[in-house]
Structure 1
Amino acid sequence: MLPAQNKLTSSVQFRTTMRKGRRAGSSTVVVHLWDSAESLDGTGEKGEVASFGGPRFGLIVSKAVGNAVIRHRTSRRLRHVCARIAADSPELLTPTHHVVIRALAGSGQASSQDLERDIRHGLRKAGRVRTDK
C-alpha cells in the first residue's frame, strides 16, 4: 500500500503537477513529473520547499479504463507499483518530485509488470530519473 506521506492529496497539487511538469506517455499510462523545488514564479531558480517522506504520487483512473471493478483493480495495481518506486526513491526520484499517473484505456487489461515497466519508462522519458534501472 502507498503510505499517506507519498500521496498527492489536493486538486492544487494535481493541477500544478500536470501543468508545470513534464509529460511522457505509453500505451497504458501517461506520466506527469514535476519537481516541487522548482520555482513557481517562472524565474527558473530553485525554490525552498519542505518535503517529507519522499516523492508523492497521484492517480487518475477514468471510466475509459473499464467498469468499476476494472478501475479499482487498476488503481490497486498502480498504487502497488508506486509504492515500489517510492521505496526505490533514493535511486529514482528525489523527495521533492510529484508524479501524476493517468491510466489510459489499455491499462485495464495490462498486467502489473506491464504497468510498472510503462511507468518506469515514462519517468525515464520525462528526463528526471536515472536510466540505469
Structure 2
Amino acid sequence: MLPAGSRLTHRDEFASVMRRGRRAGRSSLVVHLHRSGDGSEARAGFVVSKAVGGSVVRHRVTRRLRHLVAPLLPTLPPGALLVVRALPPAAAASSAELGLDLEAGLRSAVRKLAAGAR
C-alpha cells in the first residue's frame, strides 16, 4: 500500500495531471506523468473505470497496480505526479504483464517529460 503522503487524492489533482501531463499508452494501461513546481516526493493515483470490470475486478487491478507502483515512486523525478489509468485488457492481464506495461509506459513518459523541459 502507498503511504498517505504518496497518494493523489483530489479530483483536481487527477484532472491536472491527465490534462497537462505527458501520456504514454500501452496495451493494458495509460501512464500520465506531470511535474509539479515544488520539489516534494513523487505521488501516484489510479483510475480504474467500470469498463475494466465489476467491483471485485476493479479493486484487484488497483491493488496490483498499487503494488507495482510503490517501489517505482522513489525513482521518479522530484515533484512528479503520476496517474495510471487501467484499460479493459488490464482485467485479464497478469501482474507480470501489468508490470511490463507500467515500466515501459513510465520510461516513455519520463523521456517525454525530460524532452519537454528543455
Q: Same fold (TM over 0.5)?
A: yes
Q: Determine what percentage of the aligned residue pairs are the same residue.
A: 48
Partner residue in 2 for 1:41: none
Match of 2:68 among 81, 88, 111: 81
Deviation at 1:116, TM superposition (A): 1.4
Q: Verify: 1:23 aligned to 2:6, yes or no.
A: no
Q: 4+ runs of 1 displaced by more than 6 Å?
A: none
Partner residue in 1 for 2:57: 70
Aligned length: 112
Query: How big is the alpha-carbon RMSD for the aligned residues of Structure 1 and Structure 2?
Result: 1.3
Which amino acid is the alignment partner of residue 33 of structure 1? L
Which amino acid is the alignment partner of residue 67 of structure 1? G
Partner residue in 1 for 2:6: 6
Say which SS state the counterpart of residue 76 (structure 1) adopts. helix
TM-score between both structures, scaled by the size of structure 2:
0.89
Q: Is the 8 A contact 2:39 2:78 kept in 1?
A: no
Q: Is the 8 A contact 2:24 2:105 kept in 1?
A: yes
CA distance in 2, matches of 1:116, 1:36: 25
The 5 A counterparts of 1:97-108 are 97-108=80-91
CA distance in 1, matches of 2:79, 2:48: 24
CA distance in 2, matches of 1:4, 1:18: 21
Deviation at 1:120, TM superposition (A): 1.1
Deviation at 1:12, TM superposition (A): 1.1
TM-score between both structures, scaled by the size of structure 1:
0.79
CA distance in 1, matches of 2:36, 2:101: 23
Structure 2: 5+ residue stretches without partners: none
Partner residue in 2 for 1:112: 95
Say which SS state the counterpart of residue 51 (structure 2) adopts. helix
Deviation at 1:109, TM superposition (A): 0.9
Say which SS state the counterpart of residue 12 (structure 1) adopts. helix
Structure 1: 5+ residue stretches without partners: 38-48
